[in-house]
């Protein structure tokens, strides 16, 4: 499982590189680096359904004016033709990592209407000086450390901290719990994400959606094969297949039972490790 940036079309490359240059124009000397994670980095990007996932690093916290310029740029560029999901972090929270991680600015299509309203009304409800936290950053940085792409900036190992496994698991488990609840409403995303989390806890593999779906086909019981095939077709071809409530609940129950066993086992191991370290410390003292 290696990245395949070189295999992508010039349309995708030109889109991302143009975005990089426009951001550098706005950030000027504060720009540090531009790093890709998600499906584009892991070779599973689908031009019909995937986001462009990016982390941009700056030297210091950005001003409100810079945030508004970035919002204007991203409102123009996102979905033309590819949707963008991007977060901006400065070096301070990276050098002093805590979970959930701190970020200066975030854009995704979910935020489009809010930013449009702030800009059109010259208001500051969302585009303001607030620094927020995001539990997903632990997952994004872990993926960058393992499988990310550096388009410009210092090497990944020089910029991004080691994220403890406990932080990564807390990050993916939050999304996992949402998917357990929403599998009937957002079937394609949720089924694949449940499989991704199961695979990670079982074998420690950090995977793209496509890789997780392929693993599910080859590794999960045969009774789930047709459901996973339908999910993959919906994701890749934008076709619409009907899903019965029973098949989704059966798949969810199977995965969740296994995930809970693996998660509890991992938690027990971490607890034992912490206790062992404390005992050794007492003995040393």
What kind and span of H or E run contains 31?
strand 31-37
* 106 close to 88: Cβ distance less than 8 angstroms: yes
What is the per-residue burial (b if ≥16 Cβ within 10 Å, else e) of 225-234?
Answer: eebbebbbeb
pLDDT of 60 reads: 96
Tens of pLDDT, residue by residue over 166-224, are 999 999 999 999 999 999 999 999 999 999 999 999 999 999 999 999 999 999 999 99
pLDDT at 267: 82
Beta strands in 38-191 (DSSP E): 52-58, 84-90, 101-103, 105-107, 132-134, 149-152
Query: Which residues lie closer than 8 Å to 48 by C-beta, 6 or more apart?
Result: 236, 237, 238
**Bridge partners, 35 (sequence order):** 55, 150
- Which CATH class for the 5-162 domain? alpha beta
Q: Taking the domains of the chain in order of start, what are their residue ranges?
A: 5-162, 166-284
Q: The pTM is what?
A: 0.91
pLDDT of residue 259: 98
Task: Say what the pLDDT of residue 239 is.
Answer: 61
Nearest to 56 by CA among 43, 73, 79: 73
Report the alpha-carbon distance of residue 15 to residue 81 in Å, rounded: 9
- The single residue listed with the structure tokens 């210091």 is 60
What pLDDT was estimated at residue 2? 41
**Average pLDDT by stretches of 10, the chain with 285 residues:** 70 96 97 96 87 97 97 98 98 97 98 98 97 96 97 97 96 96 95 98 95 97 96 77 92 98 86 49 49
């Amino acid at each position: 499982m290696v990245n395949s940036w070189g295999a992508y079309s010039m349309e995708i490359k030109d889109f991302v590189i143009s975005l990089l240059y426009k951001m550098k124009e706005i950030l000027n000397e504060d720009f540090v680096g531009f790093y890709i994670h998600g499906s584009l980095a892991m070779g599973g990007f689908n031009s019909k359904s995937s986001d462009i996932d990016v982390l941009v690093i700056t030297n210091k916290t950005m001003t409100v004016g810079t945030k508004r310029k970035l919002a204007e740029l991203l409102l123009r560029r996102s979905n033309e033709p590819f949707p963008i999901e991007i977060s901006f972090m400065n070096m301070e929270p990276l050098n002093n990592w805590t979970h959930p991680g701190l970020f200066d600015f975030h854009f995704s299509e979910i935020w489009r209407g809010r930013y449009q309203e702030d800009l059109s009304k010259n208001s500051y409800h969302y585009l303001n000086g607030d620094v927020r936290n995001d539990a997903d950053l632990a997952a994004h940085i872990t993926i960058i450390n393992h499988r990310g792409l550096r388009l410009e900036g210092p090497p990944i190992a020089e910029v991004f901290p080691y994220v403890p496994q406990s932080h990564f698991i807390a990050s993916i488990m939050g999304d996992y719990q949402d998917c357990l609840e929403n599998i009937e409403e957002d079937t394609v995303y949720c089924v694949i994400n449940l499989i991704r989390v199961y695979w990670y806890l079982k074998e420690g593999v950090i995977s793209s959606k496509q890789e997780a779906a392929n693993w599910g086909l080859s590794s999960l019981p045969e009774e789930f094969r047709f459901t996973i095939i339908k999910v993959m077709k919906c994701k890749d071809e934008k076709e619409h297949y009907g899903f019965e409530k029973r098949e989704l609940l059966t798949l969810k129950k199977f995965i969740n039972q296994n995930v809970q066993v693996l998660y509890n086992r991992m938690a027990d191991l971490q607890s034992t490790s912490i206790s062992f370290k404390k005992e050794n410390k007492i003995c040393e003292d």
